[in-house]
Amino acid sequence: MLSRRRCFAAAANRIRPLARAFCDAPASGAPRSQDHSHTEKVAGVKAPPDVLDVAIVGGGMVGLAVACALSNMPLTKHLKIAIIDSNPALKSRGYLDKNSTPDSRVSTVTPATISFFRDIGAWEHVQQQRHAFFGKMQVWDYTGLGYTRYNARDVGKEYLGCVVENKVLCNSLLLRLKEELDDIENVIYPTRLVSLTFPLKSRQAGMKPASSEPLSVGHTTEELHRSNLVKLDLSDGRILYSKLVIGADGSKSNVRQIAGIKTTGWNYPQSAIICTVEHVVENDCAWQRFLPSGPIALLPIGNNFSNIVWTMSPEESLRHKSMSPEEFVKSVNHALDFGYGPHPRSTALDHYMEQFFSGIGNTATSTKECFEVPPKATGVVSERMAFPLSLMHSHDYVSKRLALVGDAAHTVHPLAGQGVNLGFGDAAALAKVIAEGVSVGSDVGDLTLLQRYEKDQKAANVAMTAVLDGFQKMYSVDFGPLNMVRAAAFHGAQYISPLKKSIISYAMGDKKWPLFP
């Protein structure tokens, strides 16, 4: 993360007169202000369409993170931006009640993501709302042949991650935006995108081209300028023009589909059921057990609450969703304890491996930790939600005047909780590239500039996607020889300290590539 902070700092120090002129004279040619006026009528005459530097389609966690990063950096804070999303939650302007029942939808954010949130000034707002750090994690298999313990102290850290409700992350980003923008109400457009019209020079397959009418005759200078921008038609009838459109509108991205960007992916024969459960004692560890139908995770959320993410067949997910609360809690405890197979037990092989690998590098703290049984759930306190699982990756993240971030560019299996962290990584990388472009007077929608963002993120995201897909496939088959391979993997991760530390660093976001220093 030091490199990321240096990049932010370096970008801030490269302010030049040309960049200052770019920021102070936004696309509309008017003095810098976020007052879009939302195309109001004045004296019966309709005001001209709003002209922007950056239009972000999607006001979820990743879209808000992009807006927050741009509004926070000295080089980009004067850019004229808009967030297009009809979600009424974007009207929230205060802290959420810590004492309310936790929502089912949570994210496990890594130290890398937390550092990004600190850089843009949003983490202090998360700290004022419910969140739960955890410094330990246990992963094991239903066969009882092996387990792995991870501890933040293995890599000299205080925590492995933090579980935060999605609504808390969104709210914290909104509160930070409000601090940076005096007129946040004019930045958020509570509506939906209907269509995008790209300039003729884009020549992108599937994109609606601009009018072919010659622009040299009968058009004002402002109209000529707008002809080089992307036109956004909104569901409330308003029209926007923007130098850059950022698609942050999820796995079924309307922006991606309109742009004609192709994807590769498949549906898993699995669904995930999520909910919040309660314990008698507070849970301070993240737990994950691989079962024949998929993994079940128990994640601490604070105040004796934990979040359940349980992967199973679609039929089983419907059955578990319709169970009585008592039956469901019994099923959860069964899955996290003796259900499907025995607890892992230390054997002579474990003792031999511990002794053999103890001399390789500094021994990790958790190699001597024994298997533990997770805390029992005593009740389910939230709605049980089920959703199908899939993998998707866009062939391209960018084209001229267009960039995709988060789930609009890639979706992964939730077994390691990495999906949203990949999205926040996209947000940080794209904001940094835009700032670097502004510093040298580049057009923020220039394809060459945007391709630097794609180069920075795409390969690492593909690697994480492949790792998670490999885990999904490896742990979806109950086959004797493969079970032994999995057991060997658990033992290796438990007792080979360099391997354990490398896995932890990769999962925490400190490294972009698995198993490499």
Structural domain boundaries of the chain? 51-198+223-508
496: phi > 0 → left, psi -120 to 50 → alpha, else beta; which?
beta
CA distance 423 to 451: 17
**Strand-pair partners of 410:** 393
Amino acid at site 22 = F
CA distance 202 to 401: 8
pLDDT above 70 covers what percent of the chain? 81
Return the pLDDT at 219.
Answer: 52
Return the pLDDT at 50.
Answer: 87
Return the pLDDT at 360.
Answer: 63
Q: What does residue 413 show for φ and ψ, rounded to 5 degrees?
A: -65, 140
Q: Residue 453 corresponds to which tokens in the numbers above? A: 């963002």
**Strand-pair partners of 391:** 266
Could you tell me where the DSSP H helices lie in 440-496? 447-474, 480-495
8 Å CB contact between 160 and 135: yes
CA distance 490 to 233: 53
CA distance 154 to 508: 12
Query: What parts of the chain have a pLDDT lower than 50?
Result: 1-37, 39-47, 202-207, 209-218, 516-517
Fold assignment, 51-198+223-508: FAD/NAD(P)-binding domain (3.50.50)
Cα distances from 420 to residues 158, 242, 357, in angstroms, run 21, 26, 35
Cα dihedral sign, 383-388-391-394: negative
Of 466, 385, 465, the closest CA to residue 421 belongs to 465
Cα distances from 175 to residues 62, 186, 187, 359, 431, in angstroms, run 15, 15, 13, 50, 19
